[in-house]
Amino acid sequence: VLETEIPVFGICLGHQLLALASGAKTLKMGHGHHGANHPVQDIAKGTVMITSQNHGFAVDEATLPANVEVTHKSLFDGTLQGIRRTDKPAYSFQGHPEASPGPHDVAPLFDEFIRLMEARSA
């Protein structure tokens, strides 16, 4: 999929798979993230969203290649919660935005995917 220009939005395991496919590594967390009400910061905007989480592994930020940027981090433990490829229409989020724990907190994640799909079909 990364060899194409098809937009990719990885969620949870998809986040870890995008990182691995990009050359990064994952690591087993001492304490996984499970349940709702996990605060995650959007690095570029400085805003915080409340998310649902269910994972025991995290992407190792120190192993990210130059073409992957950090987009989101956990405010609980600083673990990586989002990445974006700078050379492909691909990004990912560790939590479960489809669970929608905050009223509209995660809507921008889906809006970005719609934008990428519309740009591809334009």
CB 52 within 8 A of CB 33: no
- Angle CA 93–100–39, to nearest 5: 60
Residue 5 annotated as catalytic: no
Determine which one of 12, 15, 33, 55 is catalytic. Answer: 12
Residue 112 annotated as catalytic: no
Radius of gyration over alpha carbons of the chain, in Å? 14
Determine which one of 72, 96, 112, 118 is catalytic. Answer: 96
Of the candidates 18, 29, 43, the residue with the CA atom closest to the CA atom of residue 77 = 29
CB 10 within 8 A of CB 92: yes
Determine which one of 5, 34, 98, 118 is catalytic. Answer: 98
List active site positions. 12, 96, 98
